């Protein structure tokens, strides 16, 4: 981590593992899966080079079938692990610290601009769900963005900065159903529930838009401000 990254990564006194979570968003495939794929390739090459003999060929094909079965089982196990991590049927969802970590990493891409086609929106979206444009109404301008993969799902985050230098991150997680997030209190705005939690000095608000998980968090930004921003986005006025 560079000194600049450290400055952009607030430490959460209430959850020390948050800093570690910032560097463990991506979930690589198990090494055994790669090994089985390579074994299949090697076995196929050996089969192609067989001089003859039905029994030998039949044995090679049987061996290939066994490896295909092992690969399918490994894929199913990986899928089950991803579903558990993302709160699918029977899954536990994300912890509050994991949700916050998605919005606290440094920006790696340019800030999206205001959309001329969609009023009150930016030229950035996930699965057709656009990020809000807050500058004119609230004074929060888009200042950067990034993309990650969390347990197999695409996550895009747009960062906003106000005139006081405060920074918040707004993440949208692709795919449905949305993962559940453990949190504290609930604030209702219309028919939408906004779940509010704290990780050290970082306030985290989570809710759903179009069955997609949305997360807004900011170090030193109060819950009322975050809920006002998030709910205005949903209301569109």
Side-chain-facing half-sphere of 101: CA atoms under 13 Å = 21
Residues 111 and 166 in one domain: yes
End position of a domain, from candidates 44, 60, 85:
85
Would residue 24 count as lying in a domain? no
Would residue 2 count as lying in a domain? no
Residues 104 and 178 in one domain: yes
Give me the pLDDT at residue 59, please. Answer: 53
pTM as predicted: 0.64
Query: Each residue of 171-193: pLDDT tens digit?
Result: 999 999 888 887 779 999 999 99
Would residue 1 count as lying in a domain? no
Give me the pLDDT at residue 150, please. Answer: 77
Confidence of residue 216 (pLDDT cuts 50, 70, 90): very high
Residues 104 and 68 in one domain: no
Angle (CA) 155-186-181 rounded to 5° is 35
Q: Give the range of the structural domain holding residue 59, as residue numbers without chain letter.
A: 31-85
Q: Which of the pair, 1 or 228, is modelled with greater confidence?
A: 228
Is residue 141 within 8 Å of 160, Cβ to Cβ?
A: yes
Residues 66 and 106 in one domain: no
Residues 123 and 223 in one domain: yes
The rounded mean pLDDT for the chain is 74
Q: Which segments within 6-152 are labelled E, that is strand?
A: 121-126, 129-132, 141-150
Give me the pLDDT at residue 94, please. Answer: 75
Q: Which of the pair, 190 or 158, is modelled with greater confidence?
A: 158
Please say if the pLDDT value at position 56 is more than 60: no
End position of a domain, from candidates 85, 118, 151:
85
Q: In the predicted model, what is the mean pLDDT of residues 67-75?
A: 45
Would residue 229 count as lying in a domain? yes
Residues 68 and 181 in one domain: no
Give the number of domains in the chain.
Answer: 2
Query: Each residue of 29-47: pLDDT tens digit?
Result: 445 544 554 565 455 555 5
Would residue 19 count as lying in a domain? no
Among 167, 176, 116, 177, residue whose Cα is nearest residue 146: 167
Q: In the predicted model, what is the mean pLDDT of residues 219-223?
A: 93
Residues 122 and 225 in one domain: yes
Residues 76 and 119 in one domain: no
Residues 106 and 209 in one domain: yes
Residues 213 and 175 in one domain: yes
Would residue 10 count as lying in a domain? no
Give me the pLDDT at residue 16, please. Answer: 53
Q: Which of the pair, 145 or 82, is modelled with greater confidence?
A: 145
Report residue 138 as tokens.
Answer: 């609230």
Give me the pLDDT at residue 195, please. Answer: 95
Q: In the predicted model, what is the mean pLDDT of residues 104-123?
A: 93
CATH code of 210's domain: 3.30.200.100
Residues 155 and 184 in one domain: yes
Residues 106 and 213 in one domain: yes
Would residue 22 count as lying in a domain? no
Give the sheet arrangement for strand 141-150, strand by strand. Answer: 141-150, 153-161, 167-173, 212-219, 202-209, 192-199, 185-189
Would residue 21 count as lying in a domain? no
């Amino acid at each position: 981590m560079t000194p600049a990254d450290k400055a952009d990564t607030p430490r959460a006194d209430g959850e020390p593992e948050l800093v570690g979570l910032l560097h463990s968003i991506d979930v690589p495939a198990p090494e055994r899966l790669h090994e089985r794929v390579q074994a299949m390739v090697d076995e196929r090459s050996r089969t192609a080079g067989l001089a003859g003999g039905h029994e030998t060929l039949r044995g090679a094909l049987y061996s290939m079938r066994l490896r295909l079965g092992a690969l399918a089982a490994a894929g199913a196990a990986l899928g089950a692990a991803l579903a558990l991590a993302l709160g699918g049927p029977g899954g536990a969802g994300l912890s509050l610290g994991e949700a916050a970590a998605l919005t606290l990493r440094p920006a790696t891409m340019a800030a999206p601009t205001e959309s001329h086609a969609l009023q009150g929106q930016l030229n950035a979206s996930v699965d057709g769900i656009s990020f809000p444009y807050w500058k004119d109404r609230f004074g929060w301008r888009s200042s950067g963005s990034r993309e990650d993969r969390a347990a197999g799902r695409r996550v895009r985050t747009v960062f906003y900065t106000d005139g006081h230098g405060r920074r918040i991150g707004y993440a949208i997680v692709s795919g449905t159903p949305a993962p559940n997030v453990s949190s504290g209190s609930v604030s209702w705005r219309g028919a939408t529930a906004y779940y509010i939690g704290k990780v050290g000095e970082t306030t985290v608000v989570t809710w759903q838009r179009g069955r997609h998980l949305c997360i807004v968090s900011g170090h030193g930004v109060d819950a009322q401000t975050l809920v006002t921003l998030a709910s205005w986005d949903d209301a569109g006025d």
